[in-house]
């Protein structure tokens, strides 16, 4: 798909490097619906690729949740200087900056409403981060996966109350195809009630450790101290 969209060999190599890192960070991680987190990350990047986003934006989309859901080996999420340095070494400072900005900016009803009518005046980097956010929303809803989270009705209510405004944001950012896809996907999620017998017991993303997993010495010591 990237070749068909005109990405250069060096750009595709960068995407492959980003995928290798994402595969390590999201190992054993799942969305609330049970979907592998890596599949969600790849799907988000794929949408950005279809939009012909710049390669750094596509790679940042692949790693957009590195700080919020990625496993850096400490058992703790969130941004830290050493994590940022590791990402910058692995995928470049420009990509890391996009991931950090995506992580640090809120994404809620007040933020989305405040963005309406202002998108064209935003700096390029902020518009690109907005595209990442919109691609993430499309990927999260396109397979109706929210219907299989424990809080499915709450998520449907979010579409009704404010997530539908993402359609207009996509138009403002200059992506009519993305706007149409979001509109169609949100309507599909509202028109097709989820099957309660298939709903998962989780609301948010979670980790299932492999059978061979053993807590590290540091983790064991923390438990003893607590």
HEC assignment per residue over the chain = CCCCCCCCHHHHHHHHHHHHHHHHHCCCEECCCCCEHHHHHHHHHHHHHHCCCCHHHHHHHHCCCHHHHCCCCCCCCCCCHHHHHHHHHHHCHHHHHHHHHHHHCCCCHHHHHHHCCCHHHCCHHHHHHHHHHHHHHHHHHHCCHHHHCCCHHHHHHHHHHCHHHHHHHHHHCCCHHHHHHHHHHHHHHHHCCCCHHHCCCCCCCEECCCCCCCCCHHHHHHHHHC
Give the pLDDT score at 219.
63
> What are the sequence ranges of the domains in the chain?
9-225
Give the pLDDT score at 214.
73
Give the pLDDT score at 5.
87
Give the pLDDT score at 3.
86
Whether 220 has a pLDDT exceeding 70, the answer reads no
Q: Which CATH number fits domain 9-225: 1.10.10.10, 1.10.3210.10, 3.30.413.10, 3.30.1330.60?
A: 1.10.3210.10
pLDDT band at 218 (very low <50, low <70, confident <90, very high): low
């Amino acid at each position: 798909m990237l070749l068909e969209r005109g990405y250069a060999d060096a750009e595709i190599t960068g995407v492959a490097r980003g995928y290798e890192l994402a595969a390590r960070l999201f190992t054993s991680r799942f969305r609330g619906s049970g979907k592998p987190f890596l599949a969600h990350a790849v799907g988000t990047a794929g949408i950005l690729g279809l939009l012909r986003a710049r390669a750094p934006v596509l790679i940042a989309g692949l790693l957009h949740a590195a700080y919020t859901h990625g496993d850096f080996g400490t058992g703790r999420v969130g941004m830290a200087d050493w994590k940022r340095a590791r990402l910058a070494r692995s995928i470049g400072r420009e990509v890391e900056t996009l991931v950090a900005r995506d992580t640090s900016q809120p994404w809620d009803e007040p933020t989305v409403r405040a963005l309406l009518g202002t998108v064209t005046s935003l700096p390029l980097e902020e518009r690109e981060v907005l595209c990442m956010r919109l691609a993430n929303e499309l990927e999260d809803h396109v397979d109706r996966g929210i219907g299989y989270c424990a809080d499915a009705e709450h998520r449907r209510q979010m579409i009704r109350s404010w997530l539908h405004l993402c359609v207009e944001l996509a138009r403002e950012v200059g992506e009519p195809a993305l706007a149409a896809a979001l509109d169609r996907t949100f309507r599909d999620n509202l028109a097709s009630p989820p099957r309660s017998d298939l709903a998962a017991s989780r609301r948010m993303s979670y980790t299932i450790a492999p059978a061979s997993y053993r807590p590290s010495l540091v983790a064991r010591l923390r438990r003893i101290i607590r």
